[in-house]
Amino acid sequence: MTTIASIAYGAQPKEMDLAKATKVVAYGERLFRGLKGKPSKHVVEMVENLHVEGQIDEWHTLEYPYIKLKYYRVVPEKRNILRTLELTSSKYVLPFGIKIGATRESIALILGKPSTSGPDIIEYECGDPYSQTVSFAFTNDRLVAVQWDNDIE
């Protein structure tokens, strides 16, 4: 029999809740698509497309207050593919009420056991058609940054 005290103070997170983790991963994409306004920094790097000979595409690196991101632009299609996005402001509330300042334990209780874990970070991996990861970085057990990574070539 499990007591209330053991749930509150020593519960082990359940296995990863893939549906919840997927919603948190999708939030990064929605945040990327919804960004408006001029970034404080915007760098464009021209690169050769690895799949289409002779096609030149672009890597874009942008910074906004509390948000840094990098995306790949397939130029002929005018299609942007998010590579990485980092968020460091509590004004953004992720699904299930997760936001900067949350405890490590609260995130694990919501999303379950992370795919990988270290002293100051936990990560949840899911996604299709390519691997998508959301990472939570902590200082003194408090969330200080959330980073989304999409494994694209």
Worst-scoring range by mean pLDDT, 11-20, 41-50, 88-97, 121-130?
Answer: 11-20
> For residue 53, what are the contacts with CB-CB under 8 A and spacing of at least 6?
none
Q: pTM of the predicted model, to two decimals?
A: 0.84
In a domain, residue 104? The reply is: yes
Cα 129 vs. chain centroid, distance in angstroms?
A: 16
Q: Which domain holds residue 142?
A: 12-150
* Residues across the chain: 153
In a domain, residue 1? The reply is: no
pLDDT, residue 153, reads: 60
Domain count, the chain: 1
For 63-99, the pLDDT digits (tens) are 999 999 999 999 999 999 999 999 999 999 999 999 9
123/54 Cα distance (integer angstroms):
37
In a domain, residue 5? The reply is: no
Worst-scoring range by mean pLDDT, 4-8, 16-20, 24-28, 82-86?
Answer: 4-8
In a domain, residue 19? The reply is: yes
Contact 66, 42 (CB under 8 A): no
Q: Which residues pair with 121 in a beta bridge?
A: 118, 137
Contact 120, 139 (CB under 8 A): yes
Confidence of residue 4 (pLDDT cuts 50, 70, 90): very low
Confidence of residue 146 (pLDDT cuts 50, 70, 90): very high
In a domain, residue 43? The reply is: yes
Query: Residues 31-53: what's their mean pLDDT?
Result: 93
In a domain, residue 96? The reply is: yes
In a domain, residue 6? The reply is: no
In a domain, residue 7? The reply is: no
